[in-house]
Structure 1
């Protein structure tokens, strides 16, 4: 019988769910967030109690068995938010712990192949967000960027922006998940925000622009236009490096 294991949606919560699968000896289990659970026809589900000792024990076990790149793929796959990813990750962990030698390149196992491919997919979006986020300066000197990524990449891009923009206050807001990263000049924290329709759900900071912001944006568009050489235009290559779905973030692509 399939045992449903419910957790709170956090990565630590997922690690605790893995711990409980082993602790309670659930032979056939699926891990589902409490928010997504819609009931079980064959009995009550098991709800995980978060315990830092349990999550640390599972993670230390994985650190002993996996390379740094494979550990990153586990975390990125979790952040993918793909349907069923938590259960596939459980199967991946079970395969890892069932062998004394490394299985992270055992692509004949569906869970290993899935985690490797999904980790790469999330990694690509992480780096595109690091390259394509454009900030708008508000009247109080805050630099604001809006994103709607397919995956929850904010935790992954935080170190990049904290390091690169350490001399200014900024906020990157994920409109799909309704939370953001805020850097106050000293440290970066996650914040939850709810925008009204006056700012398009957070898509634009134009109602609170610095007066010079529009001039800066026009100057950047003109610069982009001036360095674009029509004779060397390669639309196919351009779309490979800059997929159309990311254009909405780029000042130079607006208007």
Structure 2
């Protein structure tokens, strides 16, 4: 006997909140089921997961509800509600997803949330709702016939490609104080996925990776755990100025490295379209070998 919709929603809330009574009451939002409710949240993992938590907290699962990052593309015939990010609520959702669907599924969802595509939040919410409802048989992310799950998988794969390119094209330079400094401006928010790689490679080095597109920095103190921080406009400008204060030996090494790269090229065999395919122009602005002196 199949569970009714109400029973499925109750089971989903139980999966998200746990075995005990969550003590929450029905919210006054979305009372008119004919009117679509759109939750506007911060464009971050914490913000989107908090919005998913609120949907279950307010017992809106199964109703006409969407999650939107930012206030663009407003709809006239819809009700809007802003959701502020809450670290504790986001952590509860993350723990539930890990427990119910496994670490691999959580990693795929995390990568999808790092995308810049506008529909990522809704695709992730619908995927989570499908999994918690119990209607997906077998591993959640193998049900690619579901449009939302297929979309999450595609977003995750796209972000994986961005991460791999950043790992290949990131160039560190030694600045005053012996600190390794690198700048990136990727199409996806992959800084959190890049930092573990370099922390593992350079555990005894002080290094900073700046994502200038998102005004964020990954900082790794030598021998300690790395962390991420958001930067104000003033902090971003200051850090970029510090990044220009190269060590004297570093400047000599850069010149030698550029000369080495030029000496490898064969003028008669240059293929600009192929070069741009392998090393896109948008990555070259931060690569030492393409800097003009």
TM-score w.r.t. the length of structure 1 is: 0.84
| Aligned 8 A contact 1:145 1:171 in 2 | yes
Residues 1:23 and 2:57 aligned together: yes
Structure 2: gaps of 5 or more residues: 1-34
| Selected match of 2:278 from 241, 248, 251 | 241
CA distance in 2, matches of 1:176, 1:123: 18
Alignment match, 1:188: 226
| Selected match of 1:202 from 240, 245, 250 | 240
CA distance in 2, matches of 1:138, 1:15: 38
CA distance in 2, matches of 1:49, 1:171: 26
| Selected match of 2:193 from 156, 180, 186 | 156
**Residue 61 (structure 1) shift:** 3.4
Alignment match, 1:145: 182
What is the SS of the residue equivalent to 2:155?
helix
CA distance in 2, matches of 1:100, 1:37: 32
Residues 1:215 and 2:249 aligned together: no
| Aligned 8 A contact 2:41 2:67 in 1 | yes
Structure 1: gaps of 5 or more residues: none
CA distance in 2, matches of 1:51, 1:172: 24
CA distance in 2, matches of 1:144, 1:247: 16
- Computing the radius of gyration from Cα coordinates, the structure with the larger value is 2
Distance 1:221 1:45, change over 3 A: same
**Residue 171 (structure 1) shift:** 0.9
**Residue 151 (structure 1) shift:** 0.8
| Aligned 8 A contact 2:39 2:80 in 1 | no
Distance 1:140 1:5, change over 3 A: same
- RMSD (CA atoms): 3.0
Distance 1:46 1:135, change over 3 A: closer
Deviations 1:28-68 (A, max 9, x none): 212234xx23677544515357362x444433432344354
| Aligned 8 A contact 1:146 1:204 in 2 | no
| Aligned 8 A contact 1:199 1:205 in 2 | no
CA distance in 1, matches of 2:110, 2:272: 34
Deviations 1:94-119 (A, max 9, x none): 22223251342232322111111110
TM-score w.r.t. the length of structure 2 is: 0.74
CA distance in 2, matches of 1:79, 1:6: 17
**Residue 229 (structure 1) shift:** 4.7
